[in-house]
Amino acid sequence: MGNELYILPDSSKIWMQPGSSICFAENFNADRTVRLKGNSLFEVHKQEGSKFRVYIDSAFIEVKGTCFLIKQISPESSKITLFNGSINFNIESSGEKIMMEPLHELDYNPQNAEIHLNRIENVKWNNGRYDFMEIDLKRLIHIINQMYGTNITINKDIDKSGAFTGSIRYNESLDDVIDKICFSLNLNYKKEKEIIIY
């Protein structure tokens, strides 16, 4: 089963990964609050004077009008990646608030409320697809591993600085993505216990 697009009553879009679920109140337009279990990408429709909130484990994200990805990887790790707009990440227990800007990625550990904020580059989100501009192979494979929960490795003899420009649809299969990258960069891959690009 692939990712599903769900459109909220306010026209905001959620691309939900398999096994993910959301819940919200019937009067959603009056109280734009969503509770998320699992991993989903949000494209929030801006409404003046109306806040949009997404609750995850012991924290919530306050949104204005923006596009961001939430991955709840394990009980110790949630990742929020912001593609455009701005969001505030709020830790309920401490009241701490972190403002995120475009192309920031926040690692959050709900167990101890530890946070790491990193910058990502050369990736944009455009209505259901990731657009990559001149991204080096090492960084691209790191992002693919995060998106698909895989452990793709690159043969040590390959020039990892080779740059990829192209798009990956949010619901594209991993095999199709690997084919596309290898075709673009004139590489091959083999599947053993894991995928190795050579």
Q: What is the pLDDT of residue 10?
A: 92
Q: Which position has the higher pLDDT, 160 or 186?
A: 186
CATH code linked to domain 123-197: 3.55.50.30
148 class by beta-carbon count within 10 Å (0-12 exposed, 13-18 middle, 19+ buried): middle
User: For 101-134, what is each residue's pLDDT tens digit?
Assistant: 888 889 999 888 889 998 877 788 877 788 898 8
Tokens for 161, please give them.
Answer: 């600085």
Pairing relationship of beta strands 123-125 and 114-119 according to DSSP bridges: unpaired
Architecture of the domain spanning 4-119: Sandwich (2.60)
Domain limits, the chain: 4-119, 123-197
Q: What is the pLDDT of residue 2?
A: 59
Q: What is the pLDDT of residue 51?
A: 87
How many CB atoms neighbour CB 57 within 10 A?
14
User: For 138-178, what is each residue's pLDDT tens digit?
Assistant: 888 888 887 777 889 888 888 777 789 999 887 788 899 99
What CA–CA distance (Å, rounded) separates 73 from 149? Answer: 9
Asked if the domains 4-119 and 123-197 are classified in one and the same CATH topology, the answer is no
User: Alpha helix (H) ranges present in 9-167?
Assistant: 137-148
